[in-house]
Amino acid sequence: MRIVVFVKQVPAVSELPWDAKTGQLRREAAEGMMDPAAKRALEAALRLKDAHGAQVIVISMGPPSAEETLREAVAMGADRGFLLCDPRLAGADTLATSYTLARAVGALSPDFDLILLGCHSADSETGQVGPHLAEELGLPAAAYVEKMALKGRKLTVERVSDGWLETLEMDLPALLTVTARAFRPRPVPMTGLEQAFGQGEVFILSAADLRADPEHVGWAGSAGRIIKIYAPAAQKKGELIQGTPKACVRELMARFGDRLGGLLAKDLSGEEQA
């Protein structure tokens, strides 16, 4: 069985590498990291590899630094990583991205059985790339998958979509996107990581290697044009209260107690209640 996993390197923004126990940011991860949902997709692939035997290749489109993410994937157990790295690929919208990824599948693993992606990446992702790619490749597909089972060539998956729990079935080859909730990833073994950085099966490809039509990749291949970009404006001119917490609350009540009481339909005046 051949599995292709698409991973993305995302900026380790303030919110994600965050230690639930200590409440501290994990600064060591502060540059770039494997997108959490993509990591889950990789874990799902590795579980299939453990259970059924599979060749797992990992593909990423991104800047040279994304090579680290691929090495991490190899350390976790992927067989090989490919980085699609070319200035011509930059500025791609989801349409151009999915075209490029489809070319990569064609070039690197045309006889794949399963394609896995994270359903939304943590930076700016739209959730569109997986479904677009399914259409590019003409595959049965499901997004937001949280469970899967394979029997022969039949894949059964469970997912939640808009508050509905669905069980879906499809035959391989197929494409799935997984959420960041399921398939808790295995730790990256340190020795594996060292090895992956030492030698490691990671290859770098250009748009020409994919024989991709330059008209369809990167900014040139994107439908949308950004005409303006800005920080969202704050809308209100509110009142600022400062001081000790207790003083703040007192002031809030003194100045806005009536308003709050009205909104809460409660008497907050502190007068004796009957």
Ligand X SMILES: Cc1cc2nc3c(=O)[nH]c(=O)nc-3n(C[C@H](O)[C@H](O)[C@H](O)COP(=O)(O)OP(=O)(O)OC[C@H]3O[C@@H](n4cnc5c(N)ncnc54)[C@H](O)[C@@H]3O)c2cc1C
State both tokens at 191: 């020795």
Query: Does residue 54 contact residue 1 with C-beta atoms inside 8 Å?
Result: yes
Interface of this chain with ligand X, residues 110 to 129, rule: CB under 6 A: 120, 122-123, 125
Q: Residue 213 binds what, of ligand X, other proteins, none (CB under 5 to 8 Å, by partner type)?
A: none
Residue in 138, 65, 128 with CA at minimum distance from that of residue 105 = 138
Q: Exposed, middle or buried, 257 (CB in 10 Å: 0-12/13-18/19+)?
A: middle
254 binds other proteins (CB under 8 A): no
Judged by beta carbon, residue 25 or residue 188, the one nearer ligand X is 25
Judged by beta carbon, residue 43 or residue 125, the one nearer ligand X is 125
Q: Residue 193 binds what, of ligand X, other proteins, none (CB under 5 to 8 Å, by partner type)?
A: none
- CA pair distance 56, 41, nearest whole angstrom: 11
Tokens 């691929």 identify what position?
Answer: 70
Q: How far is the CB of 8 from other proteins (least distance, A)?
A: 13
Q: What is the CA radius of gyration of the chain?
A: 24
71 binds ligand X (CB under 6 A): no
Q: How far is the CB of 228 from other proteins (least distance, A)?
A: 4
What does the per-residue mask of binding to other proteins show for 10-39, with x meaning CB under 8 A?
-x-x-xx-x-x--x----------------
Pairing of strands 174-178, 114-118: parallel
Residues in touch with ligand X (CB under 6 A): 14-15, 120, 122-123, 125
